[in-house]
Structure 1
Amino acid sequence: MEFLASDLTGEQDYAAAMQRRLERQQILYDQSHTFEFLLTEAALRWRPGPRELMVAQLDRIASVATLSNVTIGVVPLDVEAHAVPWHGFTLNEDVDDGEPFVQVETMHAYLTVERPEDVDVYRRQYAVLRESAAMGQQLTDFLNSLRLEL
C-alpha cells in the first residue's frame, strides 16, 4: 500500500522537497538568529515511515538541540494539557523589516497571520504549551527513551 497522506495529488517531487528542507535548515547554524521549537510527544510517536527513519529523526532533533542558539521542547503526553495545539504554526518574532507574524501550514497552503492581536493569540498559545514542555536534560532523556522503544 502506497502512503499518500502527504501527496494527495500524486505530483509531489519528494527529492526536491527534501533538498529545500535541508537548505532551510542551514539557517539553524547562523548564530545571529535564535530558534525555539515545541513538539508534542504524539508527533514524535507517530510513525509515517520505518523505524530507521524515525530513529534518524530523533537523532537529528537531539543534535540540533545542542546548538547554543536553538531550544527544543517536547510536550509529554502524560502532563495535564492547559492548551490544545490545534495545528502547527511558526511564530516569526525577529523580523528585520516589519512586524512579527505567524505562518500556519495547511494541507495546501500557508496562511499568514499579521494582525497584532491575532499574533498575540499565538504567543499566548506558545507560552502555555512551553510551560509543559520537557527541555534540556529532560528532553535528552525523553529522546533516548523513545529511541530505545523504537
Structure 2
Amino acid sequence: MPAPQPSPILRRRRLGAELRKLRESARLTGDQVIEAVGWASASKLSRLENGRSRPDLRDVLDLLDLYKVTGDRREELTAITNEAGDIRAWLRSYATMTPRQRGYAELEAGCAEILEYSPVIVPGLLQSKAYVKLRILSSRQLVNDPDQDDTEDADTEVKARLARQSLLTREVEPPRYSAVIEEAALGDRAGPREVLRTQLLQLRKLAGLPNVTIQVLPTEQTIADWYLPHTGFSLYRFAEPEDPETLAIEGLATNLMVTDQKEISTYSMVFEWLQDAALGPEETITWLTERAEQRSSGPARKPAGRDPGMPPTQRSRRSGRLTEQ
C-alpha cells in the first residue's frame, strides 16, 4: 500500500484554520467578509473556517483575493482546497471502505504517529478478523433504527476495518504506532476462547513490526500516583507540521475530536504515565505468547447468562449510532 494522501477531512480542517488566520490578520469580522465577497449566508464562512463543509475553489479564491494572498502561499492553499474536495482520489487508497469506518480512516491517513489507550476493546488497527466480526455483530442491538437489520453488511464492515490496518504495513512511510491495552480488554469477557487466542497471536505478530509498539497494562499495576484514566483515547500526529494534532475520544453514539493543544498535552502526559506503568514491549510479547498458549489448552469457560451467539430479544432504541472503531 502506498502512502495515502492526507484525507479530505484533514485538509478541510487545515484550510479552515489557515483562512481564519488570514481573516484575523486582515482585521476583518465575519460579517465584513460576507459583505465584501457577496455571500448570501453568514454561516457559509463559519462552516468553511471550521472545516465542516466541502470547499468550493471559487469561494476560496474570492477569499484569497480579499486577503491579498499571492505567490507560493496562494498556490499552496489552492492545492489544499483541491485535496479537501477530492473524496474519490483518497478512497482509492482502500480496497473497501464504509461510512462507519471512514471517519477513523480519514484521521489515520497522513499520520506520522498514532498513540492509543484502550481499556476494554482492542484498538481497531490491531484487531484480528474474527475479533472484528465479533465486535461488529455484538453491537447490532444498539443500531439507531430497530427495524433495520444490517447483519448482512457485517462482512463488508469487517473488510473495511481490515483495509484500514494496511496502514501499519505499507511500504512507504508507515506511521509509528504505540498502544497501551488494559489486561481486561483481553480477558474472558472479550470473546470466546478461540477468538481471543487468535487475537493474542495477532497482537504478538504486529508487536514484531519495527514501527509498532504494544504494551499490556496489568490489572494490578498502579498508574503514576494512583491515577485512574477516565476513558480510552487516541492521539494523531501528522507528517505535515501545519496539520493540527488531533485527540479522538470514542463515545457510544458520537465521537469527540479535539485539536486544542492544551487538551492534547494533558492526554499526552497521561499516555506517558500509562506507558511507564505497562509491561515493556518485550515483556508484552512474552505475556501475549503465554496467554495464547493458555487459550489453546484446558476446557473453555462457558459464559454466564444468554448465549452470546443468540440475538437479543429486543433491540435498544437509543439515539445515535455506534461508532466503535
TM range, smaller chain: 0.7 to 0.9
* Change beyond 3 A, Cα 1:102–1:95: farther
Q: Does 1:85 find its partner at 2:229?
A: yes
Aligned match of 2:218: 76
Deviation (angstroms), 1:5: 5.2
- Normalized against structure 2, the TM-score is what? 0.42
Between structures 1 and 2, the one with greater helix share: 2
Q: Matched residue pairs, number?
A: 148
1:137 maps to a residue whose letter is E
The answer to whether the Cα contact below 8 Å between 1:62 and 1:143 also exists between their aligned partners in 2 is: yes
Runs of 4+ with >6 A deviation: none
d(CA) in 2 for partners of 1:72, 1:64:
8
d(CA) in 2 for partners of 1:56, 1:91:
27
Deviation (angstroms), 1:109: 2.3
Question: Equivalences for 1:30-69 in 2 at 5 Å?
Answer: 30=170, 32=173, 33-69=175-211
Deviation (angstroms), 1:49: 2.4
Between structures 1 and 2, the one with greater strand share: 1
d(CA) in 2 for partners of 1:45, 1:39:
11
d(CA) in 2 for partners of 1:55, 1:107:
27
Aligned-CA RMSD value:
2.0
- Which of 94, 101, 108 is 2:238 aligned to? 94
> Gapped runs of 5+ residues in structure 1?
none
- Normalized against structure 1, the TM-score is what? 0.87
Aligned match of 2:101: none
Deviation (angstroms), 1:75: 0.8
Aligned match of 2:257: 112
d(CA) in 2 for partners of 1:147, 1:115:
40
> Gapped runs of 5+ residues in structure 2?
1-134, 144-148, 296-325
The answer to whether the Cα contact below 8 Å between 1:47 and 1:54 also exists between their aligned partners in 2 is: no
- Which of 139, 153, 157 is 1:6 aligned to? 139
Once the two structures are superposed, what CA deviation does each residue of 1:27-52 show, in whole Å capped at 9, x if it has no partner? 10136221111101111114332111
Task: Identify which range, 33-42 or 80-89, moves more after superposition.
Answer: 80-89
SS at match of 2:238: coil
Aligned match of 1:138: 283
Instruction: Report the structure number with the largest CA radius of gyration.
Output: 2
* Change beyond 3 A, Cα 1:87–1:17: farther
d(CA) in 1 for partners of 2:150, 2:247:
27
d(CA) in 2 for partners of 1:113, 1:46:
33
1:60 maps to a residue whose letter is Q
- Which of 139, 152, 156 is 1:16 aligned to? 156
d(CA) in 2 for partners of 1:18, 1:108:
20
d(CA) in 1 for partners of 2:268, 2:188:
26
Deviation (angstroms), 1:74: 0.9
Task: Identify which range, 62-71 or 43-52, moves more after superposition.
Answer: 43-52
Aligned match of 1:28: 168
* Change beyond 3 A, Cα 1:35–1:27: same
Task: Identify which range, 23-32 or 91-100, moves more after superposition.
Answer: 91-100
The answer to whether the Cα contact below 8 Å between 1:42 and 1:77 also exists between their aligned partners in 2 is: yes
d(CA) in 1 for partners of 2:255, 2:163:
19
d(CA) in 2 for partners of 1:44, 1:26:
23
